[in-house]
Structure 1
Amino acid sequence: MRPTIVIGSGDGDLCFIARHLLEHSGFATSLQSEANDIVIAARQDSVCALLIDGRVRDAVSACAQICDLRAGSAIIIVALVDPGAHGQGLAFLNAGADEVFTRPVPPSHLLRALMMQGTTQRLRYGDIEMDMAARRVWRADCPVYLPRIEFAILRYFLLQPDRISDRREIIRQCWPSGIYVDCKTVNVHIGRLRRCLRIGGAPDPIRTVRGIGYGIGSVNPSLPERRARWRAKP
């Protein structure tokens, strides 16, 4: 089951853009426009984050209820308020929201806040495992040490396994905004990621489709005996 992000808003444009970006990045979404429905949706086990719009009636109250419910979970709450609504923004923070944005805000900023914080569970593909909160990676139970960009690329791939992404999309998702990155630079970081993941002679898990891009998809999780051989190599 994919991690789910609840989008609590009656703004059709916001819902359309947020849903498109999040589902394109490997998340499931739940669209809700009423405070009570937002609270109910946030109770689902698969929910990892919430984007709540201050334009929703009783939005701050819904935020407070969800914060009470999440005592034993890792739901992250990102709120969106209108210009000049400083009091509402402060109310969201007092209610327990993790971050508040003021309109207008680039969709990529909302996406990054939800994705970077909202995936606190471990991601797994084959024998590759990532702990988002601790920023740690293992392959076949062996620790893998990744620089920041390589970690971001692997995380992006793990969120949408078996999907091929072009270089421009990888740049948008994995590099800080406002920084120019040449597409050839992606090749360099993919090469570094490959070398890091081929620990102990393990097969290359990165799939390349010439003329299109990269993804993860060549790990066969049904071969524990091969994994044992990888770990046995010096």
Structure 2
Amino acid sequence: MRPTIVIGSGDGDLCFIARYLLDQAGYETNLQPEADDTVLAVRRVSACALLIDGRLPGAISTCEALCTLRAQRQLVVVALVDPGAHGQGLAFLNAGADEVFTRPVPPTHLVRALIAPVANRRLIHGDLKMDLSARRVWRASVPLYLPRIEFAILRCFLLDPDRVFDRRTIIRNCWPNRVFVDPKTVNVHVGRLRKRLQAKGASDPIRSVRGIGYGLQAADLSEVKGGGNGV
């Protein structure tokens, strides 16, 4: 499953040009014309980045609402404002935006700002580390090989380590679009992921919540011995 970038804007031209360029760069896009829906979408799809249009009513509040989420996982926020909207640009920066661009701006500049920090970053939780650009994983500094689906599942967990994901969400985030996957198949792949992460007697970092799904153990528990129970 490709990483997802949310675009909060009612500007059709901006949305569709950005969607085309991001698709070419290997990213999914989630278009949202309302501020409240933008916040929900960022949480729902575990977005790696957000492009927020200053013309969107409530755009600054949207940026502020994501501050708590950004403390839990990495999220790149890029804002776009109209010419002369210096006060709004400053408000975006104060609300936590990583970069602010003033119209007119080449769409390629926006895309570069959205994906450059994402492509080079690492996800870390306890003794687990993932390099997204190199597609490499380490457990307690020991390199591990993960097949495509297991890598995608672990990436999904690491992007939002405090969350418990139901099987359908895992399928949506980790399998190609328009491919039917039986929810029970998730159990098989999570089991395989567990075995690889527990190589050489390491503890089980995956948490199971019966009747709901899977997530990660708290970081301070991931190094404690003891396996998880299946769902």
Tell me the TM-score normalised to structure 1 length: 0.58
CA distances 1:164-197 after superposition (whole Å, capped 9, x unpaired):
1111111111110110000110000000100111
Give the aligned partner of residue 76 of structure 1: 115
1:20 aligns with 2:52: no
Structure 1: state its 5+ residue gaps. Answer: 78-116, 228-234
Distance across 1 between alignment mates of 2:218 and 2:97: 26
- Deviation for aligned residue 1:218: 4.4
Q: Give the alignment of 1:209-220 within 5 angstroms.
A: 209-220=209-220
Give the aligned partner of residue 107 of structure 1: none
Flag the 1:121–1:221 CA change in 2: closer, same or farther, 3 A: farther
Flag the 1:7–1:134 CA change in 2: closer, same or farther, 3 A: same
- Deviation for aligned residue 1:23: 1.9
Flag the 1:183–1:168 CA change in 2: closer, same or farther, 3 A: same
Distance across 2 between alignment mates of 1:129 and 1:210: 26
1:164 aligns with 2:164: yes
Q: Which amino acid is 1:63 matched to?
A: P
- Deviation for aligned residue 1:22: 1.8
Paired residues, what number? 170
Contact 2:6 2:32 survives alignment (8 Å): no
Q: Give the alignment of 1:95-106 within 5 angstroms.
A: none
* Sequence identity (%): 46
Flag the 1:183–1:157 CA change in 2: closer, same or farther, 3 A: same
- Deviation for aligned residue 1:65: 5.4
Contact 2:168 2:183 survives alignment (8 Å): yes
Once structures 1 and 2 are overlaid, which stretch shifts more, 190-199 or 117-126?
117-126
Equivalent position SS for 2:214: strand
Q: Which amino acid is 1:10 matched to?
A: G
Contact 1:125 1:161 survives alignment (8 Å): yes
- Deviation for aligned residue 1:58: 3.9
Tell me the TM-score normalised to structure 2 length: 0.59
RMSD: 3.9
Equivalent position SS for 2:33: helix
Q: Which amino acid is 1:19 matched to?
A: V
Flag the 1:64–1:143 CA change in 2: closer, same or farther, 3 A: closer
Give the aligned partner of residue 123 of structure 1: 123
Return the match for 2:52 from 18, 21, 31.
31
